[in-house]
Amino acid sequence: MTDFEVHLDRYLIHLEGTRGASPYTIKNYANDIGQFLSYCTQQELPSLSMIDRIFLRRYVAELDTVGYAKSSIARRVAELHSFGDFLVRENILGRNLFRMIGAPRTPERLPEYLTTSEISALLALPDIQKPLGQRNLAIMEVLYGAGLRVGELVGLDAGDIDLGQGQLRVLGKGGKERIGLLGQPAVHALVRYIEQGRSELLQDKPTRALWLNHRGGRLSSRGIALMLNQAGKKAGIRIDVHPHLLRHSFATHLLDGGADLRVVQELLGHADLATTQVYTHVSQRRARDVYLRAHPRAKDENTIDVGR
């Protein structure tokens, strides 16, 4: 194993053990940073301490030349920044040389979300006469009702749920714990699933996991993503449905309903308010669309029937 590979391996262990990164995140970091380290090897760079601004710019230019999107390049640069911070803390680098370059500017992408009618169509699909249908409805209600990340959802144990208080204990990014709130529909779906569906799926196997697959083991993130994607297609929803889409919908609908941004930040488990603020742009865009459709003076005056 080369020094480059040793550094990356230690960083990935750090991401998993200290920061609680998901397997999906770790895989992305391994691929993207590994790509840069392969480039270093190809260029016969003897050590990461030999990196300079010209070398980094050449690497970014090569990514652009082979057709990577600006957003993809920006992600790789941000990952290298974080990797460099780790190398400094480990005394492998004296300073973070990766910060000699910034990420390319990318057009702002607003998060997609489902309308309330699409949410209703999705929630109407599961067959609640069957264990898997009871589980699937409860998953949808909790994802949308509490705005959880899929990693937070799959990590839930039965003991994390307080049905009496309508809340659950969530272990978020970096091992930070927070309380997620549940509306009455989510509570009702959970009661049905826990008392009926989960008991059948359990098959007398000892497990603390809340969400079980058909074999009685803990349901995976992939299993949840597949279930939601299939449900979205059956419901005729215009975009691919995935777990984070329900989280986006949760935040957007809260702000549409007049919720305070700080409250939404706390419910989402965002460390930085700026991360939450992107949803205000979605809500404002929707308000503008409604205004243009509804207000008579928002349109060209030639389109208004002045005789009415």
∠ CA 155-83-245, rounded to 5°: 40
DSSP class of residue 126? S
Of 165, 134, 168, 164, give the one whose Cα is nearest residue 152. 168
| Residues belonging to the active site | 149, 173, 244, 247, 270, 279
229's CB contacts (< 8 A; 6+ apart) are 240, 241, 242
> Which H or E run contains 169?
strand 167-171
Please, which contacts does 179-184 make with residues 24 or more away whose CB atoms are closer than 8 Å? 180/142, 180/146, 180/147, 180/148, 180/152, 180/267, 181/145, 181/146, 181/267, 182/141, 182/142, 182/145, 182/146, 183/141, 183/145
Number of H helices, E strands in the chain: 13, 3
User: Do 113 and 245 form a contact (C-beta atoms < 8 A)?
Assistant: yes
DSSP 212: B
How many Cβ atoms sit within 10 Å of the Cβ of residue 224?
22
- 128-142: buried (b, 16+ CB within 10 Å) or exposed (e) per residue? beebbbbbbbbbbbb
- At 107 the three-state DSSP class reads coil
Residue with tokens 């060209």: 300
